[in-house]
Amino acid sequence: MNPYRSPFLVILAVLVVAILIAILRFDLMKPRADRNWEPEFARLTTFEDLGGGRWRLNNLRYWTWTESGPKETIWGGRIIDENAVTALWYYVQPFGGWDGIAHTFVVFELAGKDNGNPGGGAADYIGVSVEARREIGEAYSALSGLLRAYELSYLWASEKDLLTRRAVYLPEELYGYRLNVPPQTARAALRHFITRTNKLAAAPRFYNTLFSNCTNELAKTVNDGGGEDFIPYHYSFVLTGFADRYLHRLGYLGEPDSDFAAIRRAGHLNTTVRAIVRANVGASEKAFSQAVRAGLGAAATPGRRTSDDYPVTRR
């Protein structure tokens, strides 16, 4: 029989050619910064070094969110002092009906008296959320995130913006915790996020569900800081909804021998944030963040940073 007429060989040949074309197309895809982005991803943040640990932050998002979407779409700038960073806060929002998949992001706390305010005052809070930068009309898909469908975005925003978007506009549950890290670790993380943010603005990268997602990009940044604060690789770098449990076992969240479920209950934020918005208690950024922390309870209480199960050592 003529092998070129074998249906099986013809089908196999077509599949091989299709796979080769797909691989070639995939390899030729290049990340870009000039797409027709969804408005919330339209601008990239950059930092200007002013010296002495002070930075000018350009394109900080200050949006106001309601249940139906953004109410005000303000982008602004501000000057921050890395020496004023005193704490690091961690937020987790499971989605998709399973706790194993979640979005995570961090917020830096900056003491008011050191952050360009000699007279003192309430602390400031700014956050960074590592996200899949979507074009208009695109929806997020974990599968698409493996296929270079999205660029990577380091989205900087006020804490009020980030929390109201997640707890008011989106339907999923939101949890927040203060991490057990010293100020020098939080400051090192900020410096490395600044470096990564500027590099990303200059040279776009693709988001990847497995290797460049919201959680493992955070871990990479902390690990880049050196020293004793290190997060060993763990399956929660991919199954991101388990990241807060892992941080608890490492001693970065509450006491290692404490009940994680109790800390998580204390860190539940949806009711708190919605009540603050309804009562207009948090009309200002600072007032909003203060009201949020008043509702966190045990989740805002730092503990020891040790763990017998997972010794935190640099590899």
Distance separating alpha carbons of residues 292 and 288, to the nearest angstrom: 6
Q: Give how far Cα 36 sits from Cα of 41, 130, 137, 154, 308, Å.
A: 10, 19, 10, 17, 49
Give me the mean pLDDT over the 234-252 stretch: 93
Token output for 103: 């979005």
106 CB-contact burial (10 Å; exposed 0-12 / middle 13-18 / buried 19+): buried
Q: Does residue 309 surpass a pLDDT of 50?
A: no
CB 287 within 8 A of CB 226: no
Distance separating alpha carbons of residues 247 and 269, to the nearest angstrom: 19
SS (H, E, C) 79-100: EEEHHHEEEEEEEEEEECCEEE
pLDDT value at residue 258: 86
Distance separating alpha carbons of residues 193 and 261, to the nearest angstrom: 30
User: Percent of the chain having pLDDT more than 90?
Assistant: 64
Q: Which helix (H) or strand (E) holds 65?
A: strand 64-66
Q: Does residue 68 surpass a pLDDT of 70?
A: yes
Query: Which of 29-33, 92-96, 244-248, 252-256 is predicted least confidently?
Result: 252-256
Distance separating alpha carbons of residues 174 and 267, to the nearest angstrom: 8
Between 306 and 19, the higher pLDDT residue: 19
Give me the mean pLDDT over the 185-193 stretch: 94
Distance separating alpha carbons of residues 191 and 212, to the nearest angstrom: 19
pLDDT value at residue 158: 96
Query: Which of 101-115, 157-171, 218-232, 233-247 is predicted least confidently?
Result: 218-232
Least Cα distance to 32 among 17, 15, 44, 49 occurs for 44
Quickly count: other Cβ atoms within 10 Å of residue 97's Cβ.
Answer: 7
Matching residue, tokens 């949890």:
175
Distance separating alpha carbons of residues 110 and 94, to the nearest angstrom: 27
pLDDT tens per residue, range 105-143: 999 999 975 454 444 467 899 999 999 999 999 999 998
- Binned at pLDDT 50, 70 and 90, residue 255 comes out as confident
Least Cα distance to 88 among 231, 259, 211 occurs for 231
In single-letter form, the type of residue at position 265 comes to R
pLDDT value at residue 114: 45
Q: Residue 58: CB partners within 8 Å, gap ≥ 6?
A: 45, 46, 47, 48, 77
Q: Does residue 7 surpass a pLDDT of 80?
A: no
pLDDT value at residue 224: 80
pLDDT value at residue 228: 62
Query: Which of 71-80, 172-181, 222-231, 284-293 is predicted least confidently?
Result: 222-231
φ, ψ of residue 262 in degrees (nearest 5): -70, -40
pLDDT value at residue 278: 86
Cα 159 to its chain centre, rounded Å, is: 12
Q: What is the mean pLDDT of the chain?
A: 85
Dihedral sign, CA of 197, 207, 267, 59?
positive
Query: Which of 5-9, 66-70, 189-193, 253-257 is predicted least confidently?
Result: 5-9
- Binned at pLDDT 50, 70 and 90, residue 18 comes out as low
Least Cα distance to 176 among 241, 250, 251, 90 occurs for 90
